[in-house]
Structure 1
């Protein structure tokens, strides 16, 4: 038979064996996880180059489009200035004589109205 000390030693030995097996299992899982993480990082590194190239191309095209929009905006500003100048010219050419004609017709109506008033009395 085993003495009390031997039983205690046997229990401690079994406990340590279970602990070592558990730690070995955890370390194996950790090693597998690190291997997968390394593999994913490598794949990501392989995909990063083409992705950056595509992004550079997209940014370049966006810059070209912004240059075109800038040119269009400048042209619209020029057209707006020309339209304002035409409006001013038309107003001065048509507006002046139109006001004079309106004033003349008003004066004629007043004169005719005054004449009619004098004739009725």
Structure 2
């Protein structure tokens, strides 16, 4: 064997060793890709029941929202009716009540002023007697 043949034989052996060392990570990568493919298939199979459940939930939520919309509309109608009723009450009874309250206040004040004058008149002659 010549030196060239020996060098070729060593180079061929190194190449085989290199191929074997690169084959191990490639095999592991292949297994990882197989596992990922299996996981994706399982996830795809399990998404159908999840999506059906989510669809049913959304349907129930929409039904409840329609009910809430109806309740809100009724509450708005009631508040409008209460506002109209309070306006009618204020228009019909509010003004006379205010006038009655003002009249009673005025009468009370006038009666108190009259009593005070009577008391002052009653006390004046007594004071004059005391001065004499």
Whether TM-score is above 0.5 comes out as: yes
CA apart distance, 1:70: 0.5
- Of 5-14 and 73-82, more deviation after overlay is shown by 5-14
- Residue 98 of structure 1 is matched in structure 2 by 97
Q: What is the CA-CA distance between 1:3 and the residue it aligns to?
A: 4.2
In the other structure, the counterpart of 1:5 is 4
TM-score (norm 2): 0.75
- Alignment partners' CA distance in 2, 1:110 and 1:28: 108
Tell me which residue corresponds to 1:75.
Answer: 74
CA distance in 2 between counterparts of 1:11 and 1:104 reads 126
| Structure 1 unmatched ranges of 5 or more | none
Larger radius of gyration: 2
Give the length in aligned residue pairs: 120
Alpha-carbon RMSD across the aligned residues, in angstroms, is 2.2
**What is the deviation of 1:82?**
1.7
Q: Which runs of 5+ in 2 are unaligned?
A: 122-132
TM-score, normalising length from structure 1? 0.80
Q: For residue 56 of structure 1, report the CA deviation from its aligned partner.
A: 0.8
Aligned to 1:58: 57
Q: Distance in 1 between matches of 2:109 and 2:60?
A: 70
Could you list the per-position Cα deviations for residues 78-110 of structure 1 after superposition, in whole angstroms to 9, with x for gaps in the alignment? 111122122223323332221121222233235
For the residues of structure 2 that align with 1:38 and 1:115, how far apart are their CA atoms? Answer: 105
User: Closer, same or farther in 2 for the Cα pair 1:7/1:94, shift >3 Å?
Assistant: same
